[in-house]
Amino acid sequence: MAPSHVLRCCQRVLSWIPVFFIAMVVCWSYYAYVVELCIFTIPNVGEQIVYLIVFHLSFFMFVWSYWRTIFTKPVSPSKEFSLPKADKEQYEREERPEAQQEILKRVAKELPVYTRTGTGGIRYCDRCQVIKPDRCHHCSACDTCVLKMDHHCPWVNNCVGFSNYKFFILFLAYALLYCLFIASTVLQYFIKFWTLCRRKSSEHCPKNELPDTHAKFHVLFLFFVAAMFCISILSLFSYHLWLVGKNRSTIEAFRAPVFTNGPDKNGFSLGFKKNVTQVFGDQGRLWPLPFFTSLGDGYTFPARLVSADPERATVILETGANARAVDGQTNLLGDTRNHLLGNHVSANHLDSNGVQKGGDDSVTVSLERDS
């Protein structure tokens, strides 16, 4: 039996095959479009120049965003989410899940962790030996916990999460634009070459304006490949735009995050505009560029409670980012560095009934006190 490290090396090499495949297709598409279509096929010089300029712009943005998606490392939880040495040893000695949960709850009191397991327990990764921050999940392919993990994508050989989710969205957008541009500009020459192919066996076929050269194969195949990728990317891009608008990850779309009050599929939704801002940042001019501009630190996220606990004072956060809960145990944001359009709620903005006075109507605070 081969050593485990040899198997891991083989697995790492094989995992790059989808990326190499995409790279070869992109390189061939560049040659087919620039050389075979623009240089050897298109007779009009002005048309050649316009096509080449737009093509290279879309090609550059597509490759740039794809590169950033691949080589931006996913962020893992920091050491403060690991159990202290004494608690870790006690946790490993305990055999009863109830006792282990008590240890985790004691440690988690000092951490900004507000989501739970399906049974209401603290989310803990036995593999990485860390308490999972909100929206963090373990990736079996990367063998690590990833902050705000969306999914592991074999086409980029990387985990898509907090550090590169914007890059992934831009990669899909520019890939779609790249394929659409190729398909739309190649279409007329595809029709001419296809007509030439169908008529060349006829005795009295009319002369075609395009020469019957090897460029014919590249142009025909280029249209089919661009159209095929365009259809597949469009569905995936549309789905992730919907996820961004709802402020959900792919994992959360299939399994709603669980809070202390139960599962809530819209627990992190702040409204469409602010949901988009969380991913792309608050500087609109940087949205189209693959620079990291997402808001927050990846550990804590603005959230809202759908159902409040009547036994204690609680706060319902509908769209606020820096607002804090009144009682310490329901502090949804903790000491997060998140800032989202500058919404704040403080004691000075609350009237005697615990309702915000004036200011931004997008934040609603309601209190339920012990009777």
Q: Which residues are designated catalytic? A: 153
Beta bridge mates, 116: 258
Separation in Å, CA 184 to CA 181, 190, 226, 231, 260: 5, 10, 9, 13, 52
CA-nearest of 57, 253, 222 to 151 is 253
Residue 329: half-sphere exposure toward Cβ, Cα within 13 Å: 10
Give the separation between CA 12 and CA 19, rounded to whole angstroms: 12
Find all residues with CB under 8 Å of 330, minimum gap 6, and list them. 260, 305, 309, 312, 313, 314, 315
Going across the sheet that includes 115-116, the strands are: 115-116, 258-259, 262-263
Give the separation between CA 366 and CA 326, rounded to whole angstroms: 10
Find all residues with CB under 8 Å of 203, minimum gap 6, and list them. none
Q: Are 325 and 312 in contact (CB under 8 A)?
A: no
Residue ranges of alpha helices (H) inside the chain are 4-15, 17-31, 45-71, 85-93, 97-108, 165-199, 215-246, 250-254, 272-280
**What is the amino acid identity at position 293?**
T
Q: Are 297 and 336 in contact (CB under 8 A)?
A: yes
Find all residues with CB under 8 Å of 124, minimum gap 6, and list them. 104, 130, 131, 132
Q: Are 321 and 268 in contact (CB under 8 A)?
A: no
Give the separation between CA 130 and CA 134, rounded to whole angstroms: 12
Most distant CA pair in the chain, distance: 96
Taken in order 215, 221, 226, 229, is the CA torsion positive or negative?
Answer: negative
